[in-house]
Amino acid sequence: MSFDPEYLLNREFPTIRQTYSDKDCMLYALGVGLGIDPLDENCLRFVYEDGLKVMPSQSVMMAHPGFWAKEEDLDIDWVKVLHAGQEFILHKPLPTSGTVEATNRITEVTDKGEKIGALIVSDRIVRDVETGEDLCSLVTTILARGNGGFGGDRKSVPKTDVVPSRNPDEICDLPTLPQQALLYRLSGDFNPLHASPSVARNAGFKAPILHGLSTFGVMTHGLLKTCCGYDPDKFKRMRVRFSAPVYPGETIRTEIWQDGNEIAFRCRSLEQDKIVINNGYLLID
């Protein structure tokens, strides 16, 4: 079948139930770069079981639907799929273990033209199975670069958060590991673009790129360190646009502008001298 946006909007996804442990929380934190300095006790709180805390950005991997864009009935050119945007809202502090469930739902498919692709927005609400309480709400936007030009009404682009034009109030530089994509994928995102050199080359990259959500985690670390004193309970809501890929081993600079409990930010790859995450917004307690 050919790519059909109406089919995608009406397609039912299975409910994903996930049981996770403190080990999974530590593995996630290692996959976004915490523990590079094993003597940093602030970071140790996220990778060591004694007094373990959960990274706020781990919410995006809870009850993760997997690489659903690869499923044959959707007819998405999955090799050309890129992560375009991510938002999370935390309703409660994330527990270090438990069973959660969520159902992925496609809410919007927008034709950006044959040269750009199709923007596909999905959401899911992650619930604690034992208590029945909502833990977090997640909104994910992907760009299917090989599926544009299907026609239909052009929808207006949602208003993006503005990053100030003045110099940032704070800057935080954090390294990534050469093997970071191989670590991060063990948290549930098995897109081969991030592991297979041949798949990466076929998609137009010189090597496997870092998951957008691993870069997202590095950025979360920078904000957690700079704005929240490593207290994850201060995070309430965050959203970003992904603007360029990162290669594992690059250094991510998070540029931060703070206005009370609202924070604007963006991220730059120092090696590429390129903005890789833009129009960032964080609400803290």
Domains of the chain: 5-151+159-284 (3.10.129.10)
Average pLDDT of the segment spanning 178-186? 96
**According to the model, what pLDDT value does residue 44 have?**
97
pLDDT digits (tens, 9 = 90+) for 21-59: 999 999 999 999 999 999 999 999 999 999 999 999 999
**According to the model, what pLDDT value does residue 158 have?**
60
Phi/psi region, residue 188 (left: phi>0; alpha: psi -120 to 50; beta: rest), is left
Active site (annotated) includes residue 169: no
pTM of the entire predicted model: 0.91
Within 8 A by CB and 6+ apart from 23, the residues are: none
Average pLDDT of the segment spanning 134-159? 84
**According to the model, what pLDDT value does residue 171 have?**
98
**According to the model, what pLDDT value does residue 6 have?**
94
pLDDT digits (tens, 9 = 90+) for 259-281: 999 999 999 999 999 999 999 99
pLDDT digits (tens, 9 = 90+) for 53-92: 999 999 999 999 988 999 999 999 999 999 999 999 999 9
Structure tokens belonging to residue 179: 């093997």
**According to the model, what pLDDT value does residue 2 have?**
81
Active site (annotated) includes residue 173: no
Strand ranges in the chain using DSSP code E only, listed in sequence order: 15-20, 81-90, 98-103, 105-111, 118-128, 134-144, 170-175, 235-242, 251-259, 262-269, 274-284
SS3 136: strand
pLDDT bin (cut points 50, 70, 90) of residue 160 is confident
Catalytic residue among 31, 117, 146, 212: 212
**According to the model, what pLDDT value does residue 113 have?**
92
- Return the bridge partners of 143, or none: 82, 119
Query: At residue 112, does pLDDT exceed 80?
Result: yes
**According to the model, what pLDDT value does residue 152 have?**
65
Catalytic residue among 16, 106, 209, 256: 209
Question: 């992904």: which residue's tokens?
Answer: 242
Active site (annotated) includes residue 209: yes
Alpha helices in 50-136 (DSSP H): none
First-to-last alpha carbon distance for the chain, in angstroms, is 48
**According to the model, what pLDDT value does residue 153 have?**
60
Nearest to residue 29, comparing CAs of 205, 239, 238, 230? Answer: 230
Catalytic residue among 24, 111, 128, 189: 189
pLDDT digits (tens, 9 = 90+) for 15-24: 999 999 999 9
Active site (annotated) includes residue 189: yes
Query: At residue 151, does pLDDT exceed 90?
Result: no
Task: Please give the residue that has the higher pLDDT: either 155 or 139.
Answer: 139
